[in-house]
Amino acid sequence: MHHQSSRGPLAGAAIGIGMLGAVALGGLIAKRKASPRSADDAPGYTARRSFGAYDVVGRTVTIREDRHKLFAFWRDFSNLPDVMENVVSITPRSSDGRAVWKIRAPAGRIVEIETEIAREIEGEVIAWCSVEGSDIETKGRVEFADAPGDRGTRVTLITAYDPPGGAVGKGLAKLWLREPAVQARHDLKRFKALMETGEITTSARTMDETRAAKMENTR
């Protein structure tokens, strides 16, 4: 994987953070300078350390589907609410990739975050980050790589966010992103299920018992 191309004293932090695209994280990297992580071959986000103020979460699934087809689904952000259950809608704002995410917050509130595309390589990677003024500073990146043989595509989702200052912001971030690792894992598994089976798996017996229906009801 290409994210390990830079090695050296900063490698430990760079592996995890470098994936997030050209984002100003200088302060964070400087903090990590004192105790560099030895460079093994594991993805940076599996490190037994935090990334300072940022929470970084990464997960990989293998999906038996064509890499470009998976990329195309993800590149159309308006598809993502199908698999991201806390996202109500993602509406493109302009042709340059800006989009507004409406995300469920507790007590029926909806938080809005505007993102822009930070990096894009057709069939390989899409990275996005929130623009100035969003309630929550967040960055995400999804990578697509061919799996061995006919196993399909390895899809890695990495998200990071920095809870903003102020009690309200911190509270919101905490509530929304309470279990970011869990959220990312579930979102990816739903993506995998939808791409492989054409359905989002549910064990509900009736329509009004599905997760989607319950989400609607709590709004």
Partner 1 sequence: MRALTWQGTKDVRVETVSDPEIINPRDAIIKVTSTAICGSDLHLYDGVIPGVLAGDVLGHEFMGEVVETGPKSTLQKGQRVVVPFTISCGQCFHCTIQQYSCCSNSNPAEKQDMSATLYGHAMAGLFGYSHLTGGYSGGQAEYVRVPYSDIGPIVIPDHLDDDKVLFLSDILPTGWMGAENADIGPDDTVAVWGCGPVGLFAIQSALVMGAAQVIAIDHYPHRLELARKLGAKIVNFRETNVREALMEMSGGIGVDAVIDAVGMEAHGFAIDNMIDIVKQKVGFGADRASALKQAILSVRRGGRVSIPGVYGGMTDKFPLGALMEKGLQVRSGQTHVQKYTKPLLEKIEDGTLDTTFLISHHLPLEDAADGYTNFHDHQNEWTKVVLKPGMARGSTNTGTTTSKEYA
62 binds partner 1 (CB under 8 A): yes
CB 41, CB 11: distance < 8 Å = no
Site for partner 1 in 125-164 (CB under 8 A): 151-152
216 binds partner 1 (CB under 8 A): no
Token representation of residue 37? 């992580």
Considering beta carbons, is residue 168 or 182 the nearer one to partner 1? 182
Q: HEC states along 103-140?
A: EECCCCCEEEEEEEEEEEECCCEEEEEECCCCCCEEEE
CB of 86 to partner 1, least distance (A): 11
Query: Which of 3-11, 86-94, 95-103, 196-204 is the region at the interface with partner 1 (rule: CB under 8 A)?
Result: 196-204
Query: Which of 6-14, 17-25, 170-178, 195-203 is the region at the interface with partner 1 (rule: CB under 8 A)?
Result: 195-203
Residue 60: how many CA atoms within 13 Å on its side-chain side?
15
217 binds partner 1 (CB under 8 A): no
Considering beta carbons, is residue 30 or 215 the nearer one to partner 1? 215
Instruction: Pick the binder of partner 1 from 41, 96, 132, 199 (CB under 8 A).
Output: 199
Considering beta carbons, is residue 27 or 148 the nearer one to partner 1? 148
Distance of CA 48 to the CA centre of its chain: 20
CB of 22 to partner 1, least distance (A): 32
**C-alpha radius of gyration, the chain, whole number:** 18
One-letter amino acid at 86 equals: N
Instruction: Pick the binder of partner 1 from 35, 38, 203, 217 (CB under 8 A).
Output: 203
Torsion 70-72-77-81 (CA) sign: negative
One-letter amino acid at 153 equals: T
- Distance, in Å, from the CA atom of 153 to the CA atom of 172, rounded to the nearest integer, reads 34
CB of 144 to partner 1, least distance (A): 17
CB of 38 to partner 1, least distance (A): 26
Token representation of residue 30? 């400087």
β-bridge mates for residue 159, sequence order: 57, 140
Instruction: Pick the binder of partner 1 from 40, 182, 218, 219 (CB under 8 A).
Output: 182
CB 55, CB 158: distance < 8 Å = no
Q: Is 60 helix (H, G, I), strand (E, B) or coil?
A: strand
Task: By CB under 8 A, name the binding residues for partner 1.
Answer: 62, 64, 151-152, 182, 185-187, 189-190, 192-193, 196-207, 210-211
